[in-house]
Amino acid sequence: MKIRTFTKLTVISVLALSLLGAAQPSTLHAAEQLSFTDVKKGSWYEETVHWAISREMVKGYADGTFKPQQTVSEAEFLAMLLRAFEPELASSSPQSHWANAYYARAEQLNYPLQGYEEAASRNRPISREQVAELITATEGVNFSGYHAIHYVLAFGLAQGKEPGVTSVASFDGSSALTRAEALQFIKNVSDYGIGGLLERPSEKDNPQDLPEL
């Protein structure tokens, strides 16, 4: 079966039920739009930052900055991703790691994360390749490394870092993810993805099913 065929059919029925009872994300009125001193007007990430802030996926800093170029840890990206689709998911109590609830939910969905067993991995910067693997997991498919990057590029969930170049090499999977990039990835999943957080199958998918770039 071709990739996305079955998952689209599955998510349509799920969304029909979930949309009836799902809490609507909060939105900021024009007067309430936050203006960060380091988010340049007209920048590629300006609208994406406000989109995420309005949905309470992420916050700015007390000094009035957003720090769009600051790297994102595995735990931070996972929290942003899950908040976008399951805003009711609460963070853990102060007595435990703040992201425990997010990791517990991700484990239910069989998402690939290093922080399940190695606590230090939760606080290390997450790579773009790891993000590609997580995003493919949300689509209900199981790809890793090169093939995960190929998937997100082929289905418009990501772009390379070189303008006008769509290739696994231009994706630069080994580089660390920034806050601005993290939010853009998640917005792409929201706008162009399968429509929700699906469970990742235990068996690898066939790379031959991937469309050409």
Report whether pLDDT(168) > 60. Answer: yes
- Give the sign of the dihedral formed by CA 129, CA 151, CA 44, CA 83: negative
- In the block, tokens 């007209």 appear at 42
Cβ neighbours, 10 Å, residue 90? 8
Model confidence pLDDT, tens digit, residues 41-86: 999 999 999 999 999 999 999 999 999 999 999 999 999 999 999 9
pTM of the model: 0.84
Model confidence pLDDT, tens digit, residues 16-33: 333 333 333 333 333 334
Q: How far apart are CA 152 and CA 170, in angstroms?
A: 13
- pLDDT of the residue at 4: 62
Give the domain ranges of the chain.
32-209
Residues near 168 by beta carbon (within 8 Å), at least 6 away in sequence: 146, 149, 150, 153, 213
Model confidence pLDDT, tens digit, residues 88-122: 887 666 667 899 999 999 999 999 999 999 999 99
